[in-house]
Amino acid sequence: MADATDVKTPKAPRSPLLSRPGAVPAEGVDEGVAAHYGDIFREQAALADGKGLVDLSHRGVITVTGGDRLAWLHLLITQHVTDLPPGQATEALILSANGHIEHGLSLVDDGETVWIHTEPGTQGELIAYLESMKFFYRVEVADRTDDIAVVQLPAGSVAPAPDGVVVRETPYGRDLFLPRADLEAYAAEHGPLAGMLAYEALRVEAHRPRVGFETDHRTIPHELGLIGTAVHLQKGCYRGQETVARVQNLGKPPRRLVFLHLDGSEVHLPGPGTPVTLAKDGDGGRQLGFITSSARHYELGPIALALVKRNVPVDAELLAGTTAAAQETVVEP
């Protein structure tokens, strides 16, 4: 039996779209695709207008087949999927025994196969865990990252999906599980291309948490507002469910997600991990939380998501490092 902690996941193949004119490679976890193609604000505006596509081919792709696939996954994840209709997209989490978020799953079932995409480089650990839980169930788990590329069309896009390509439709757009060999041709026909900086700016604007950014080793679903979207409360029997039920009944998660409008006169964005303090205490004050994601938005200017202590007043003026920040409530205290 594989030990998930020992699994080293190979990176997804480098995207061929990085050879497009103007492409600037992304760094860190998003390495392998483009950060932008020359104009991050134009790319954001195009996506907001329902045009173009985002290359997410660095994300891990996993399939689960077999007659027991939905009943089996139902026992392992936070979402209710036993009767998931073909074509209906959903989100789910895998939690630790203590209820902390370990993996985020974006999934859809096509009637024969569950298609999942997950954070870049995490599919090896996820597959190792799934394999360790197969027991007598009729399921097969496969890593499809090398031959399948995820592409996202923005909400409102009229670009068609090729015949036979699995589509995962959400309020934020359509995820296509595209054969990697077809990526260049499809992008050439249905551009313009938008990079990860544009994608991330719209994600932050929409208050959408991302595993590995808005999560650390002790994040629980209530802190990010994932109850009802990625966590179904009318089911149990999954790892970490006791923590979810306890926090739901007591209503006291230790932290909460907030959206921040940052001072636009600052040259540099406060990056992930930047301490958040009360403005009246200055940047040397007691740390109340930290930035999880930040971006420059084509209309809103500099924005961020942060995790702060639950009891921080919702109207408190904050500092992100030395940058003034006005908060909007995402998760009620």
Residues 138 and 83 reside in one and the same domain: yes
Domain holding 112: CATH number? 3.30.70.1400
Q: Which token pair is 105?
A: 């799953």
Give dist(CA 35, CA 25) in Å, integer. 5
pTM, entire model: 0.94
Number of H helices, E strands in the chain: 6, 18
Residues 119 and 180 reside in one and the same domain: no
Alpha carbon 119 to its chain centroid, in Å, reads: 7
Mean pLDDT by 10 residues, the chain (333 residues): 46 93 96 97 98 97 98 97 97 97 98 98 97 96 98 97 97 97 96 96 98 97 97 92 94 94 90 95 85 97 97 94 95 91
| Residue ranges making up the domain that contains 202 | 16-59+147-206
Whether 235 maps to a domain, the answer reads no
Whether 220 maps to a domain, the answer reads no
Residues 52 and 68 reside in one and the same domain: no
Residues 76 and 103 reside in one and the same domain: yes
Give dist(CA 292, CA 63) in Å, integer. 30
Domain count, the chain: 3
Residues 156 and 139 reside in one and the same domain: no
Whether 328 maps to a domain, the answer reads yes
Residues 156 and 53 reside in one and the same domain: yes
Residues 198 and 127 reside in one and the same domain: no
Residues 186 and 154 reside in one and the same domain: yes
Residues 153 and 44 reside in one and the same domain: yes
Cβ(196)–Cβ(202) under 8 Å? no
Q: Which token pair is 192?
A: 């313009």
